[in-house]
Amino acid sequence: MRVDIVTIFPEFFSVLDLSLLGKARQSGLIEVTAHDLRDATHDRHRTVDDTPYGGGAGMVMKPEPWGEAIDGIVGDGASDALLVVPSPAGEPFTQQIARELAAEQHLVFACGRYEGIDQRVVDHYATRMRVRLISLGDYVLNGGEVAVMAMIEAAGRLVPGVVGNPESLVEESHEDGLLEYPSYTKPASWRGLDVPPVLLSGNHGAIAAWRHEQQIERTRRVRPELLGE
Ligand SMILES: COc1cc(COC(=O)c2cn[nH]c2)cc(-c2cccnc2)c1
């Protein structure tokens, strides 16, 4: 998988050299490149924003630098890459979308700042490639970088070979549409709190049943809508 990120803060993504994704990058499973949007400007101040037509507070990101930066990544014609724009106006990011992103060969992330990116950037690239506006949650960030980091981690860990033990990807929250069951490890008793006895019983059927019941109970309590309730 190839991942290109366009941002005015490319150094933000140097942290991706660490952690799980660091190994995936070294092994060539995932190739991540951050591009500085200001490299696609040509004025002395390297200007990427301007005042909004129609008035209003804040600034809007100019289309020209985005056009030059994205063309520099996908060329000037049609592309099979997927352009992802983190935005408060996007579809909610879910584990299902993480799985969809993990199946892509080439992802291009556009990190918006200020009040957003001139709409014509999305409109133009929608004629040449698939474009998805994706929201990390119902709140406003100063820029898309934090959202892109989360999306790259959520999708990257699903790319085959990135996580050592694929089994660990199966029993986790949202993988089966439910929240995950509570987990315990040694010691069996800690500050007067004991591990649920069923987990020490060795009865794998009873353990599986208890874990599923815990998933249902926790999902009903915290996220009833996931049960269609
Ligand atoms: C591309 O257009 C954007 C992108 C972002 C950064 O992303 C998020 O905030 C986000 C992504 N998931 N959830 C929130 C922010 C704005 C923005 C800022 C101020 C007022 N209105 C809009 C616009």
Instruction: Decide: 106 and 78 in contact? Cβ < 8 Å.
Output: no
Domain final position from 166, 193, 213: 166
- Domain of 178, in residue numbers: 170-226
Is 53 annotated as a binding-site member?
no
At residue 21, the pLDDT reads 73
Domain count for the chain, please give it: 2
CATH number at residue 190: 1.10.1270.20
Say if residue 206 is in the same domain as residue 137: no
136 lines ligand 1 (CB under 6 A): yes
Are residues 194 and 96 part of one domain?
A: no
46/123 same-domain check: yes
Q: Are residues 129 and 179 in the same domain?
A: no
The span from the CA of 24 to the CA of 35, in Å, is 20
Claim to verify: residue 194 and residue 92 sit in the same structural domain:
no
- Same domain assignment for residues 211 and 107: no
Q: Are residues 93 and 197 in the same domain?
A: no
- CA-CA distance, 197 to 118, in Å (whole number)? 58
Residues 175 and 132 in one domain: no
Verify that 103 and 117 share a domain, yes or no. yes
Shared domain for 130 and 209, answered yes or no, is no
Show which of 146, 166, 186 is a domain's final residue: 166
Residue 11 burial by Cβ neighbours in a 10 Å radius (0-12, 13-18, 19+)? exposed
pLDDT at position 18, please?
77
90 within 8 A of 43, measured Cβ to Cβ: no
Residue 77 and residue 28 share a domain: yes
Q: Which of 166, 193, 218 is the last residue of a domain?
A: 166
| 36, pLDDT greater than 80 | yes
**What SS3 class is residue 194?**
strand
Q: What is the pLDDT of residues 42-55, one digit of tens each?
A: 999 999 999 999 99
Minimum mean pLDDT range among 11-20, 146-155, 181-190, 203-212: 11-20
22 CA → ligand 1 middle, Å: 27
Residue 81 pLDDT > 80: yes
Ligand 1 proximity of 52 Cβ (cutoff 6 Å): no
- State if residue 39 touches ligand 1 by the CB under 6 angstroms criterion: no
The rounded Å distance from CA 195 to ligand 1 centre is 43
Calculate the average pLDDT of the chain: 95
pLDDT of residue 20: 61
> Which pLDDT does position 53 carry in this prediction?
98
Percentage of the chain exceeding pLDDT 90: 86
User: Whole-prediction pTM value?
Assistant: 0.94
Note whether 95 and 202 are same-domain residues.
no
Q: Which residue's C-alpha comes closest to atom 11 of ligand 1?
A: 87
Rounded to 5 degrees, what are φ and ψ at 144?
A: -80, -5
- Looking at residue 28, its pLDDT comes to 87
pLDDT band for position 171 (cuts 50, 70, 90): low
Of the listed ranges 21-25, 31-35, 218-222, the one predicted with least confidence: 21-25
CATH of the domain at 83: 3.40.1280.10
Is residue 136 part of an annotated ligand binding site? yes
pLDDT bucket at 113, cuts 50 / 70 / 90: very high
